[in-house]
Structure 1
Amino acid sequence: MPNSSSRAPGERGLAWLLLLGGAAGLIAAGVLTVEKIALLRDPSYVPSCSINPVLSCGSVMSTDQAEAFGVPNPLLGIAGFAIVTTVGAALLAGARFRRWFWLGLQAGVTFGVVFVHWLIFQSLYRIGALCPYCMGVWAVTIPIFWYVSLHNLRTTRIGLGAARMHGVVLTCWAAVVAGLITARFWSYWTTLV
């Protein structure tokens, strides 16, 4: 079995991203699950991430969107981020995965990024509140999706071109999401100044 020093330059970075990003997402999903259980036990409970009218987990958790598939969304996060974290740890330990495995991971992270963008839309334009832990999940899901996609496209023209611009694409993506948040809640943000 080849050691990690014989890997392509970006593979070790991808492994660390999957491990640390997956762990961060797993922690956020775990905290949200604990908060959701507390809210189910006591409807008057105020979650720790309910800070003001805009940053309000309680407002988000009490909506239908918080259980999009009939179970609390954080449970999906726990399952998904546990897999991502495990894959990152396995890669760091020297594991090599077959193409079908990478395609399966691509399907999972693609579902995750599409779901996250649906949740971003719902939070901004339907619920009208943001959950800080959810935003943490958004912040790790997008780069995980992007770099798994680049890994899977690394031998194609698209992949080679995108790899050269990887940081620019990710920065622009984050700027668009931040811009949408800023614009949507501009009237609230201006009251804080």
Structure 2
Amino acid sequence: MEKIALLRDPGYTPSCSINPILSCGSVMNTHQAEVFGFPNPLLGVAMFPLVLATGVAVLGGIRLPRWWWLGLQAGTVFGVGLVHWLFFQSLYRIGALCPYCMVVWVVTIVVFSYTTLYNLDREHLRVPGSWRPGVTAIAKLHTAIPVAWLLVLTLLVGEAFWTYWRTLL
């Protein structure tokens, strides 16, 4: 909605433009905001309902086929790759962060982490006759993996914008 308002009125200030660093408007006006020729949020509008439906199906006891899980895994790999490319672009090329985008980054990393752990545990990612990693050990760290990952990204944000953050102290 913010993008549509910005297209209608170039002088519009999005509600998520809080300061020079947390500024959706600065991000929305770049080519990175439309990497595939349309606004990036449309990817989330299309894909997150699939993830939600998968979660509801699993909680409902529906057993989904292996091809579904492999497709979801491929989608989350694509999503986490795109998120990291956008993260890099935001920090080191655009010089601003979109709060809504950051929420999507967190959700995508968590969805990728848990999809991967689920697929490893159910052996959807296992090639028959191949070595199987210590999934039990990985599963015990299920929260630590995304938390550590997000902590590293938070530290990178802090470092990239340190000159601005320290003016707030």
Scaled by the length of structure 1, what TM-score is found? 0.80
Q: Which residue does the alignment assign to 2:62?
A: 95
1:56/1:131 contact within 8 Å kept: yes
1:153/1:160 contact within 8 Å kept: no
1:116 corresponds to which of 79, 83, 93: 83
Q: Which amino acid aligns with 2:114?
A: Y
Unaligned runs of 5+ in 2: 124-131
Q: How many residues align?
A: 160
Q: Which residue does the alignment assign to 1:106?
A: 73
C-alpha RMSD of matched pairs (Å): 1.1
Matched, 1:47 2:14: yes
- C-alpha displacement at 1:158, in angstroms? 4.5
1:106/1:148 contact within 8 Å kept: yes
Q: Which amino acid aligns with 1:170?
A: P
Q: Which amino acid aligns with 2:144?
A: V
Q: Which amino acid aligns with 1:100?
A: W
Q: Which residue does the alignment assign to 1:178?
A: 154
Q: CA-to-partner distance for each residue in 1:68-107, whole Å, 9 max, x for gaps?
A: 0111000011101111111112222221101111000101
1:188 corresponds to which of 128, 145, 164: 164
Q: Could you tell me how far apart the structure 2 residues matched to 1:94 and 1:152 are? A: 16
> Equivalent residues in 2 for 1:30-109 (5 A)?
34-109=1-76
Scaled by the length of structure 2, what TM-score is found? 0.91
Unaligned runs of 5+ in 1: 1-33
Higher relative contact order (CA 8 A, sep 6+): 1
* SS, match of residue 11 in structure 2: coil
Q: Which amino acid aligns with 1:56?
A: S
- C-alpha displacement at 1:145, in angstroms? 0.1
Q: Could you tell me how far apart the structure 2 residues matched to 1:152 and 1:64 are? A: 35
